[in-house]
């Protein structure tokens, strides 16, 4: 089922949580809504589900306008952050709940409901736990039951709110791979909310980066990481370093020196230069480069992270070096960013 | 308070930190004071109730309980409880639902208002009904014209009882529902359940022990209420006397055995309530702990 969010605005007591958001989700896609807390990602998910009504705009399921439909009519599978399993029901009853509350001919007989619950438990690899209560399950198991319960109603869209947020790192990685497998096997259009960029980049077909109630960028992991379209995305996704620079006739200047980077299309004036700390080329001599004094050096996993003080303003940037690189021992290091991007300063605020 | 000089630093105790352990004499004094108070002010009167009730033997006891007016008082008390407790359950659930699950203006005011019967003297609650429904009252003329009798009759007693008992269920449920939040209800709705199914299959089972606890306390108060009921009842023997009122009448007539026999029934009710309440607390405590578990 395709989902189209068209110019949706959502206000809570006149405080806007989403400004004019539009998003097209293709059928069968696995989409991540990624952003810091307060960016509106959960609000967007709840709007798609029908747990909230948009202040303006519409949400389409296929060609049908779903915005005026209630959550029951939308037929979405929603997995809540804290699972919201019914604590007084067994695992099997939890999974069968969505079928049990149906009316008339659409309600399957009890035997069928039970069979379906067992089938779904197999799918989420929890066979044999039918008679347990949620309190008797681990966090990861509850998560799987919640997903099985949401899938039992054969939803048009599967929506997950921070699905792995409450789990520890090990279980989280396992479940991530498992969710991808389930998605590939069932083909549900799936949207999940996360603040964990690793999770979003690894798991999703496309990532929607959100900030302050707006969508900053939509794209594949490669798009988002290699071609960030805003200072926010550059700073939020992965490691980044930035320097205030000046553009003059297509050449980039740091203080009073050109740094050997050309930006022929950039307008002259103040700008901010962004680059990845690990994507730098170290230089010996310095005619057109960024040079700085080593202020600190830290070992981080497989690399050494060096903090440099640049120029008279004592601006600090970080670059990453191989652990045994001799430059780390020096007091002055000169480098030039490999891949970089320039954003005019006025917009970066 | 314990003198710091003689504070003994015992090895670490399982449930209490050594830093707050009072000296043995201090502990003993605290315990003696507590037990003495409980003994003199609670246990002793309770024993006396049963002692006096059975002072002239079991025959006199059963005889006084089989008196027609006494039986009528017992019936009336049961009737009043049977009407007011369900009313309170309905009101308590709706109020708790509204307060815990929705955001609306005047919520804080409503929450405070629910507590009003706890802070106001029951006699005043009774008097309010007299002013409202009495012959000279605000609605008295209209009621009389339509032949509706509220004051000095069963409806008045029920109203007064409802008034004094109505915080019980609501106050049990509000914190419980607030803690549980809307998550389970949203989950049920997203799975296609309608409002009634959500309430019946999800909300109600989630609060059932809290509800039972509230009903128990509400019932005890409904049967034992004196002040408010006394004002509106009119003390008509065999008609508008509830058990507590009947106890007073019998006692004023120097019928000690009769008075204490009825009192023993009320005391028995209190004891049963206490036992049930303790059992529920054990069960309900575990339930609450499970709620926090996930």
- Please count the other Cβ atoms lying within 10 Å of the Cβ belonging to residue B221: 22
Sheet containing strand A269-275, edge to edge, reads A257-262, A251-254, A241-248, A269-275, A340-344
Q: What is the pLDDT, as a whole number, of residue A248?
A: 86
For residue range A67-123, list pLDDT tens digits in order: 888 999 999 999 999 999 999 999 999 999 999 999 888 899 999 999 999 999 998
The Cα–Cα gap between A22 and A4 comes to 8
Contact at CB, B190 and A71, closer than 8 angstroms = yes
Contacts of A135 in chain B (CB under 8 A): 290, 293-294
For residue range B115-138, list pLDDT tens digits in order: 888 888 989 988 888 888 888 888
Across the range B149-172, mean pLDDT stands at 90
- Residue A265 per-residue DSSP state: T
Confirm if A29 and A207 have CB atoms less than 8 A apart. no
Q: How confident is the model at residue B16 (pLDDT cuts 50, 70, 90)?
A: low
- Average pLDDT for chain A: 89
Contact at CB, B290 and A87, closer than 8 angstroms = yes
Q: What is the biggest distance separating any 2 CA atoms in chain B, rounded to whole angstroms?
A: 79
For residue range B252-275, list pLDDT tens digits in order: 999 989 999 999 999 999 899 889
**Gap from B172 CA to chain A (nearest CA, Å):** 19
Sheet containing strand A280-283, edge to edge, reads A280-283, A332-337, A290-300, A303-310, A315-322
| Helix extents (H) in A27-168 | 41-49, 71-74, 91-100, 110-123, 139-152
The Cα–Cα gap between A39 and A147 comes to 25
Q: What is the pLDDT, as a whole number, of residue B133?
A: 87
Q: Which of A28-37, A208-217, A337-346, B15-24 has the lowest mean pLDDT?
A: B15-24
Q: What is the pLDDT, as a whole number, of residue B13?
A: 47
The Cα–Cα gap between B47 and B264 comes to 10
Q: How confident is the model at residue A253 (pLDDT cuts 50, 70, 90)?
A: confident
The Cα–Cα gap between A129 and A119 comes to 12
- Average pLDDT for chain B: 86
Confirm if A150 and A136 have CB atoms less than 8 A apart. no
Q: Which residues contact B186 (CB under 8 A, 6 or more apart)?
A: A51, A71, A78, A80, A84
Across the range A264-275, mean pLDDT stands at 87
Does A166 score more than 80 pLDDT?
A: no
Contact at CB, A87 and B190, closer than 8 angstroms = no
> Among B183, B191, B294, whose Cβ lies nearest the Cβ of A135?
B294
Contact at CB, B291 and A87, closer than 8 angstroms = yes
Q: What is the pLDDT, as a whole number, of residue A349?
A: 39
Q: Decide the pairing of beta strands A303-310 and A290-300.
A: antiparallel
Nearest to A343 by CA among A211, A249, A205, A245: A245
**Gap from A256 CA to chain B (nearest CA, Å):** 59
Surface-to-core class of residue B291, CB atoms within 10 Å of its CB (0-12 exposed, 13-18 middle, 19+ buried):
middle
For residue range B35-70, list pLDDT tens digits in order: 999 999 989 999 999 999 998 989 999 999 999 999
Q: What is the pLDDT, as a whole number, of residue B1?
A: 40
Q: What is the pLDDT, as a whole number, of residue B292?
A: 39
Q: Decide the pairing of beta strands A340-344 and A269-275.
A: antiparallel
Tokens matching residue A128: 């044999």
Q: What is the pLDDT, as a whole number, of residue B118?
A: 87
The Cα–Cα gap between A145 and A124 comes to 7
Q: What is the pLDDT, as a whole number, of residue B284?
A: 67
- Give the dihedral sign, CA B275/B278/B279/B280: positive
For residue range B180-209, list pLDDT tens digits in order: 888 999 999 999 999 999 999 999 999 988
Across the range A229-236, mean pLDDT stands at 92
Does B10 score more than 60 pLDDT?
A: no
**Gap from B236 CA to chain A (nearest CA, Å):** 49
Q: What is the pLDDT, as a whole number, of residue B3?
A: 44
**Gap from A281 CA to chain B (nearest CA, Å):** 50
Terminal Cα-to-Cα distance of chain A (whole angstroms): 38
Contact at CB, B191 and A98, closer than 8 angstroms = yes
For residue range A134-145, list pLDDT tens digits in order: 999 998 899 999
Q: What is the pLDDT, as a whole number, of residue B5?
A: 45
For residue range A286-327, list pLDDT tens digits in order: 777 888 888 888 888 888 888 888 876 678 888 988 887 777
Does B157 score more than 70 pLDDT?
A: yes
Surface-to-core class of residue A254, CB atoms within 10 Å of its CB (0-12 exposed, 13-18 middle, 19+ buried):
buried
Interface test with A, best of B183, B184, B191 (most A CBs within 10 A): B191
Q: What is the pLDDT, as a whole number, of residue A194?
A: 93
Tokens matching residue B19: 């830093």
Confirm if A297 and A263 have CB atoms less than 8 A apart. no
Nearest to B229 by CA among B285, B178, B289, B165: B165
């Amino acid at each position: 089922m395709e989902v189209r969010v068209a110019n949706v605005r959502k206000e809570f007591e006149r405080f806007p949580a989403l400004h004019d958001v539009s998003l097209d989700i293709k059928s069968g896609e696995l989409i991540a809504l990624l952003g810091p807390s307060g960016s509106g990602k959960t609000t967007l998910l709840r709007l798609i589900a029908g747990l909230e009504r948009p202040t303006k705009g519409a949400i389409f399921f296929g060609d049908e306008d779903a915005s005026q439909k209630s959550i029951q009519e939308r037929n979405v599978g929603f997995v809540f952050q804290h699972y919201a399993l019914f604590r007084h029901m067994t695992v099997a009853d939890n999974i069968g709940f969505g079928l049990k509350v149906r009316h008339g001919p659409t309600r399957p007989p009890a035997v069928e409901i039970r069979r379906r619950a067992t089938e779904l438990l197999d799918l989420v690899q929890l066979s044999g736990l039918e008679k347990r209560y949620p309190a008797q399950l681990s966090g990861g198991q509850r998560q799987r039951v919640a997903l099985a319960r949401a899938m039992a109603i054969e939803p048009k869209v599967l929506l997950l709110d921070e699905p792995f947020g409450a789990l520890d790192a090990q279980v989280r990685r396992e479940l991530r791979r498992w969710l991808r497998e389930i998605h590939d096997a069932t083909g549900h259009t799936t949207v999940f909310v996360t603040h964990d960029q690793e999770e979003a980049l690894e798991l999703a077909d496309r990532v929607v980066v959100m900030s302050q109630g707006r969508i900053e960028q939509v794209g594949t992991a490669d798009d988002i990481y290699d071609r960030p379209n805003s200072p926010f995305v550059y700073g939020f996704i992965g490691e980044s370093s930035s320097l205030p620079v000046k553009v003059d006739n297509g050449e980039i200047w740091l203080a009073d020196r050109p740094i050997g980077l050309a930006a022929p299309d950039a307008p002259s004036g103040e700008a901010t230069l962004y680059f990845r700390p690990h994507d730098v080329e170290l230089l010996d001599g310095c005619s057109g480069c960024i040079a700085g004094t080593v202020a600190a050096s830290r070992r981080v996993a497989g690399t050494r992270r060096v903090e440099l003080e640049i120029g008279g303003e004592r601006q600090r940037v970080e670059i990453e070096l191989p652990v045994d690189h001799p430059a780390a021992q020096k007091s002055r290091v000169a480098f030039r960013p490999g891949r970089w991007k320039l954003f005019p300063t006025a917009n970066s605020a | 308070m314990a003198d710091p000089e003689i504070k003994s630093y015992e090895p670490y105790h399982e449930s209490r930190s050594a830093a707050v352990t009072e000296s043995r004499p201090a502990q003993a004094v605290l315990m003696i004071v507590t037990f003495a108070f409980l003994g003199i002010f609670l246990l002793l009167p309770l024993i006396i109730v049963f002692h006096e009730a059975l002072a002239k033997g079991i025959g006199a006891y059963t005889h006084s309980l089989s008196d027609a007016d006494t039986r009528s008082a017992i019936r009336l008390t049961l009737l009043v409880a049977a009407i007011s407790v369900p009313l309170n359950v309905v009101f308590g659930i709706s109020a708790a639902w509204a307060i815990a699950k929705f955001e609306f203006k005047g919520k804080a005011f409503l929450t405070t208002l629910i507590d009003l019967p706890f802070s106001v003297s029951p006699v005043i609650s009774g008097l309010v009904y007299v002013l409202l429904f009495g012959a000279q009252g605000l609605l008295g003329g209209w009621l009389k014209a339509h032949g509706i009798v509220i004051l000095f009759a069963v409806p008045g007693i029920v109203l007064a009882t409802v008034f004094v008992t109505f915080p019980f269920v609501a106050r049990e449920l509000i914190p419980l529902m607030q803690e549980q939040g809307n998550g389970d209800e949203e989950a049920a709705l997203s799975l296609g359940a309608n409002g009634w199914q959500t309430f019946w299959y999800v909300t109600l089972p989630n609060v059932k022990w809290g509800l039972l606890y509230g009903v128990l306390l509400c019932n005890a108060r409904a049967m034992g209420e004196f002040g408010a009921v006394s004002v509106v009842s009119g003390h008509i023997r065999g008609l508008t006397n509830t058990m507590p009122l009947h106890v007073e009448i019998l006692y004023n007539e120097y019928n000690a055995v009769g008075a204490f026999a009825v009192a023993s029934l009320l005391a028995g009710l209190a004891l049963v309530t206490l036992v049930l309440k303790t059992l529920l607390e054990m069960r309900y405590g575990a339930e609450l702990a499970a709620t926090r578990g996930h």
